[in-house]
Structure formats: structure tokens, C-alpha cells
Amino acid sequence: MSDLFGPAGQDLLARCPLPGPYGARVQSLLRLIEALEGEIDLFSGLARGRLAGNADYVAVQQIPGIGPVLGAVLVAEVGGVTRFSNATQLPCWAGLTPKHHESDTKVHRGRITKQGSRLVRWAAVEAVQRVPAHTRLGQRRDRIADRRGRNIGVVAAARDLVTLVFYGLRDHHIRCLHPAAGAA
């Protein structure tokens, strides 16, 4: 059985002959699963209904790698983008920029700061890892990964993705993903 909590697995558990208390416990847990699935469906429907007409949600999903779930996470976590004066502040707020230590003529850039929204950072990294290699973000990820390593390439592309999210939330569309109208 590949998924014990899927429909076939639950049917198997319901038919499984278990002695007294064990069978009662399994039946109790199956009822709990059914009740929780009802709650999950209810709140998923409410979230879908609330996001269906949201221009920010629709715009963010135009970015390759961002689907309904990651789009909802990004829109909910970032909220109003007007608090950021430019596109470089959102990746910094998400903790995707490298630490910067400077003293006199010596400059050292270290690991990313990880100060900020953990969910935005997670969503951006997950989206970038699913992006196909032929897209702009995929090419950036792979080009940097060839030089500096896979993780650094993913974080650099995630920083670019969060910048695109800023423009999507601000303008409700992302111009760099669409060819110019006069170009033919």
C-alpha cells in the first residue's frame, strides 16, 4: 500500500479485522481523518474564494514556478508592497541578501542574512527549484550553480524571483515576462 491514508488505504483499514480495542481505535482515527478533511476542504474553499479575484494573486502566479499554493503564501506574507520603496528592499526583508562586512578597504560578503520572513524565503526557494532550465530564472540558477554551487545559484535566482514578486504586487503584471507589443 503506497498511501495508507488515501481512499484505498482507508478502505483497507476499515475492512481489517482487528480485535476489540485496536479495531475501535482504528475506527476512531478514521472518523477523525474524515472530520479533519471536511475542515480542510471548508477553509481551502474560503481561501480560494478570497483569492480568486485578487489581482496580486493572479499576477504573482504568472512567474514561472509559482502555482496556487506558493502564490497564496507570497501574497499573504508580503501583504501590502507599498511599504517597500523599491524592488531591492523585498529580497532584503525576506533575508535573501548576503551579509556585508566592511572595514576600511576590506569587504567581505558572507551567507544570506536569513532575517525576515521564513515563509517567503521558503516559497521563493521552492519555486526556483521547480523552474525549468529554459526560463530566465532557470538560466540564472544554472549559470551561477555551474560557477559557485547549486545552493548559491538557487538563492540568487530566488532573490530575482522575489524581485519579480515585488513588481507583480506593485503593478499587477510582470512586464519582463511578456514580449513588447511593438516587437515582431
Q: Which pLDDT value is given to residue 73? A: 93
Angle CA 152–155–159, to nearest 5: 140
What are the sequence ranges of the domains in the chain? Answer: 7-52, 55-176
pTM of the model: 0.76
For residue 11, pLDDT over 50 is answered with yes
For residue 184, pLDDT over 50 is answered with no
Structure-model confidence comparison of residues 181 and 30, the more confident one: 30
**pLDDT one-digit tens code per residue, 56-100:** 999 999 999 999 999 999 999 998 899 999 999 999 999 998 888
CA distance 161 to 140: 11
Helices (H), the chain: 7-15, 20-52, 55-60, 68-78, 89-93, 118-130, 136-148, 150-171
